[in-house]
């Protein structure tokens, strides 16, 4: 029965175990064989959809051309692939590992890189052509390893030529993996790569190559050679590329190939009892080595290991069996408990990088914990949070590092979002819109209407009876005016070029623009409210059913006049005579003169501190009031206000817990960049008429 791609999907994950076969070889594979091929992987990816998927890999390798096809399929998956090596990823399997967006290894796993090997039938020219082809193929695959590891091609070729094994920690250090898989002990002892392991792998891969030769239909004694294309090398058309590992005990021994005249499948050799004994010993050793870190961690028992040995489980299947056993024993999650703890090294590094970004974006002095990261680029910070040792030098590699940081479980997205919000808050705090000079700030606890307690609403003190010492109850007049906060927002895009090229000046400009834009938005929103209504006399109050500025309440001059001593005197007197809701004198002091650009010069002249030569020429308003100028007021109108601490006519505020606008990441790093929403909760409104006075101006 032919295996399909859906057979590789177990528990919602893609499980790649066994030989890496070409699509052709898979077509005539035996039913009992454990393998996967490019067609099966592509079919499984289609079934699993375009989201991010997890791939569990345990393979000794196989056909490197098929491995490259699978690597390309994994790399091109829209949602990205997280590949976890469980057991081994050797030879062609280590090549396909390079296609993962996130490359992880369990603590007891390993990977192996070596040169591609093959065989050829025919004469000397055929073998020379095959050697040239293998050299070319080695450089092609070395380029793949180099791009993902950050090493040079020459360094990778040396690694492949030496047939190098890597434990999880060594692979991360070399750049061939990104992290130790969650739930495994990063400090566990790495597997031992002794001669027995190498010999076993050499026998397995050589046997695999022989099996492919024996089963391949229609292969002749020698393959015809095609002429080389420009820039290429001649190669046998029918040359197979299954890996055949050299014998480590005799590196110079030539690879045995069938005689040119051999067409029939040779008879199976007689069983070798000694070889069977050695194979069984190697199987037991592999299973015990794989289980050792989990036994020491208490997640497996000696009985679990013995059971797998006794039932004949193959070594390359033991990892999956062990993981299933440990998963069944995981306790159900209980209620979350919050315990106090100190700051660990990982959190300290994150805060240090976050502080360095803030310092660079705001041009502020960094804290001591951030100084070491002041020269880090955004990509370097992302790589550090992924535990990558090297950052690629080309744009594509740096972009891939950022994409992995945004889509993995690292805290880099939170780091960037927090740094941007802290920098935005600093820019927002520097802005000083004029409305804050004439309106009182408050905090809104939610989005409902909020009432306001005003100056003079508190009951007067009452005399205490000397006999009983009893305090009398006073009345409390409640305000009817209500204001509330509203939610606002807009989308902001940081392009991939901006992030990959570490253009902090560009990001800084975005923060400056947004910080100033929010302040301007608040200013515009406030004055739209204050100057609304008939004749721009402000909103209507519930208490009086009249606008804030009107002649009935004495908050608007009956006759329009320029800003001079006489008109200002009338305004100041009107404030002095104001009474509270309960009829008590407020004795308000004129503190602010508000006008538009057309009256700015008059305001400055009337408030200028000039020493008069005669007592009759003294300016009584010199140094008494502060001028506030805003372009939101057009024409000749001008206003006088008491201090907002005494008697505010208006109030403004933000939602509780927020002191500034904030960025919220919506879409992680994608084709166009990273999309943020700029959110802000702001409210303002009129609460009283007593602290203000308007003159239409002349």
- In the predicted structure, residue 544 carries a pLDDT above the cut 80: yes
Give the separation between CA 105 and CA 82, rounded to whole angstroms.
Answer: 11
Give the separation between CA 375 and CA 386, rounded to whole angstroms.
Answer: 18
User: What pLDDT score was predicted for residue 211?
Assistant: 54
User: Between residues 444 and 208, which one has the greater pLDDT?
Assistant: 444
17, 91, 117, 149: the active-site residue? 91
Confidence of residue 618 (pLDDT cuts 50, 70, 90): low
* 91 noted as active-site residue: yes
Task: Let me know: does 477 contact 582? Beta carbons within 8 Å.
Answer: yes
- In the predicted structure, residue 216 carries a pLDDT above the cut 50: no
Q: What is the pLDDT averaged over residues 329-349?
A: 56
CB crowding 119-144: b at 16 or more within 10 Å, else e: bbbbeeebeebbeebbeebbeebbeb
Helix then strand then coil, in percent of the chain rounded to 5, is 40, 15, 45
Q: What is the pLDDT averaged over residues 667-684?
A: 85
Q: Which of 306, 291, 321, 96 is nearest to 191 (CA)?
A: 291
User: What pLDDT score was predicted for residue 144?
Assistant: 94
Model pTM?
Answer: 0.49
User: What pLDDT score was predicted for residue 640?
Assistant: 96
User: How does pLDDT run across 282-328, given as a tens digit for each residue?
Assistant: 778 778 877 776 777 777 888 888 888 887 877 766 765 776 676 66
* DSSP conformation class of 617: G
Residue 328, phi-psi category: left (phi > 0), alpha (psi -120 to 50), beta (remainder)? alpha
User: How does pLDDT run across 217-248, given as a tens digit for each residue?
Assistant: 433 333 333 444 444 444 333 333 333 334 44
User: What pLDDT score was predicted for residue 524?
Assistant: 95
Give the separation between CA 318 and CA 308, rounded to whole angstroms.
Answer: 7
User: What pLDDT score was predicted for residue 239?
Assistant: 34
Q: What is the pLDDT averaged over residues 654-670?
A: 86
- In the predicted structure, residue 338 carries a pLDDT above the cut 60: no
Taking the chain, what is the end-to-end CA distance rounded to the nearest angstrom? Answer: 97
User: What pLDDT score was predicted for residue 612?
Assistant: 47
User: How does pLDDT run across 29-85, given as a tens digit for each residue?
Assistant: 776 778 999 999 999 998 888 889 999 999 999 998 999 999 999 999 988 999 999
Give the separation between CA 498 and CA 477, rounded to whole angstroms.
Answer: 57
User: What pLDDT score was predicted for residue 439?
Assistant: 95
Confidence of residue 692 (pLDDT cuts 50, 70, 90): very high
User: How does pLDDT run across 244-266, given as a tens digit for each residue?
Assistant: 334 444 444 444 433 433 334 44
Confidence of residue 665 (pLDDT cuts 50, 70, 90): confident
* 114 noted as active-site residue: yes
User: What pLDDT score was predicted for residue 73?
Assistant: 93
**What dihedral do alpha carbons 544, 549, 550, 555 form, nearest 10°?**
100
User: What pLDDT score was predicted for residue 536?
Assistant: 95
Domain 5-217+233-251: give its CATH architecture: Alpha-Beta Complex (3.90)
User: What pLDDT score was predicted for residue 379?
Assistant: 87
Confidence of residue 197 (pLDDT cuts 50, 70, 90): low
Handedness of CA 78, 84, 87, 92 (dihedral sign): positive
Sequence-distant (≥ 6) Cβ neighbours of residue 573 within 8 angstroms: none
User: How does pLDDT run across 566-599, given as a tens digit for each residue?
Assistant: 999 999 999 999 988 778 888 999 999 999 999 9
Give the separation between CA 264 and CA 531, rounded to whole angstroms.
Answer: 99
User: How does pLDDT run across 80-94, given as a tens digit for each residue?
Assistant: 999 999 999 999 999
Confidence of residue 472 (pLDDT cuts 50, 70, 90): low
User: What pLDDT score was predicted for residue 233?
Assistant: 40
User: How does pLDDT run across 363-381, given as a tens digit for each residue?
Assistant: 888 898 899 988 888 888 8
22, 109, 114, 149: the active-site residue? 114
Task: Let me know: does 665 contact 676? Beta carbons within 8 Å.
Answer: yes
3-state SS, residue 533:
coil
Q: What is the mean pLDDT of the chain?
A: 80
Q: What is the pLDDT averaged over residues 402-413?
A: 82
- In the predicted structure, residue 172 carries a pLDDT above the cut 90: yes
């Amino acid at each position: 029965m032919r295996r399909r791609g859906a057979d590789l999907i177990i528990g919602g994950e893609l499980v790649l175990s066994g030989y890496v076969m070409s699509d052709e070889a898979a077509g005539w594979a035996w039913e009992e064989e454990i393998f996967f091929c490019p067609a099966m992987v592509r079919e499984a990816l289609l079934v699993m959809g375009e989201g991010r998927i997890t791939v569990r890999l345990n393979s000794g390798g196989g056909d490197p051309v098929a491995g490259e096809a699978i690597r390309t399929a994994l790399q091109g998956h829209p949602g990205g692939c997280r590949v976890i090596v469980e057991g081994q990823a050797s030879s062609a399997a280590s090549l396909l590992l390079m296609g993962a967006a996130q490359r992880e290894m369990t603590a007891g796993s390993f990977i192996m890189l070596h040169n591609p090997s093959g065989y050829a039938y025919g004469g000397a020219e055929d073998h020379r052509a095959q050697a040239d082809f293998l050299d070319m193929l080695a450089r092609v695959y070395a380029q793949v390893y180099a791009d993902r590891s950050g090493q040079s091609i020459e360094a990778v070729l040396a690694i492949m030529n030496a047939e190098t094994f890597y434990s999880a920690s060594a692979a991360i250090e070399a750049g061939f993996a990104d992290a130790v898989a969650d739930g495994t002990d990063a400090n566990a002892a790495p597997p031992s790569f002794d001669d027995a392991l190498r010999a076993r792998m050499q026998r397995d891969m050589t046997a695999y190559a022989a099996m492919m030769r024996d089963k391949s239909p229609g292969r002749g004694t020698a393959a015809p050679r095609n002429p080389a294309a420009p820039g290429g090398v001649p190669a046998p058309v029918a040359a197979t590329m299954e890996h055949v590992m050299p014998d480590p005990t005799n590196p110079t021994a030539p690879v045995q190939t069938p005689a040119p005249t051999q067409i029939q499948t040779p008879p199976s050799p007689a069983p070798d009892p000694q070889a069977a004994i050695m194979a069984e010993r190697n199987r037991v050793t592999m299973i015990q080595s794989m289980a050792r870190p989990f036994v020491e961690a208490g997640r497996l028992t000696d009985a679990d290991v013995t059971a797998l040995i006794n039932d004949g489980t193959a070594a390359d299947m033991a990892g999956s069996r062990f993981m299933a056993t440990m998963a069944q024993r995981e306790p159900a999650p209980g209620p979350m408990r919050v315990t106090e703890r100190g700051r660990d090294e990982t959190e300290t590094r994150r805060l240090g990088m976050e502080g360095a970004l803030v310092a660079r974006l705001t041009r502020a002095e960094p804290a001591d914990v951030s100084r070491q990261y002041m020269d880090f680029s955004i990509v370097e910070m992302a790589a550090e949070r992924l535990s990558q040792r090297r950052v690629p030098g080309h744009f594509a590699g740096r972009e891939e590092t950022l994409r992995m940081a945004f889509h993995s479980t690292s805290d880099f997205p939170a780091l960037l979002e927090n740094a941007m919000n802290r920098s935005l808050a600093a820019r927002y705090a520097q802005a000083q819109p004029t409305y804050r000079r004439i309106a009182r700030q408050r905090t809104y606890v939610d989005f409902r209407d909020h009432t306001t307690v005003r100056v003079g609403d508190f009951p007067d003190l009452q005399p205490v009876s000397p006999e009983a010492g009893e305090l009398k109850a006073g009345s409390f007049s409640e305000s009817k005016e209500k204001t509330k906060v509203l939610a606002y927002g807009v989308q902001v895009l940081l392009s991939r070029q901006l992030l990959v090229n570490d253009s902090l000046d560009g990001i800084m400009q975005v923060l400056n623009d947004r910080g100033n834009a929010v302040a301007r938005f608040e200013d515009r929103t406030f004055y739209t409210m204050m100057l609304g209504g008939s004749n721009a006399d402000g909103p209507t109050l519930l208490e009086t059913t009249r606008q804030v500025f009107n002649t009935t309440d004495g908050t608007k001059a009956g006759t329009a006049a320029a800003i001079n001593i006489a008109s200002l005197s009338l305004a100041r007197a009107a404030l002095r005579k104001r009474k509270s809701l309960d009829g008590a004198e407020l004795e308000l002091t004129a503190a602010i003169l508000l006008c538009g650009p057309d009256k700015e010069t008059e305001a400055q002249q009337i408030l200028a501190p000039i020493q008069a030569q005669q007592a009759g020429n003294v300016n009584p308003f010199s140094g008494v009031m502060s001028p506030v100028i805003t372009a939101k007021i057009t024409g000749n109108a001008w206003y006088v206000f008491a201090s907002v601490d005494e008697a505010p006519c208006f109030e403004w505020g933000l939602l509780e817990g927020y002191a500034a606008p904030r960025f919220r990441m919506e879409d992680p790093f994608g084709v166009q960049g990273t999309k943020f929403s700029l959110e802000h909760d702001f409210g303002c409104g009129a609460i009283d008429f007593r602290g203000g006075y308007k003159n239409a101006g002349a």
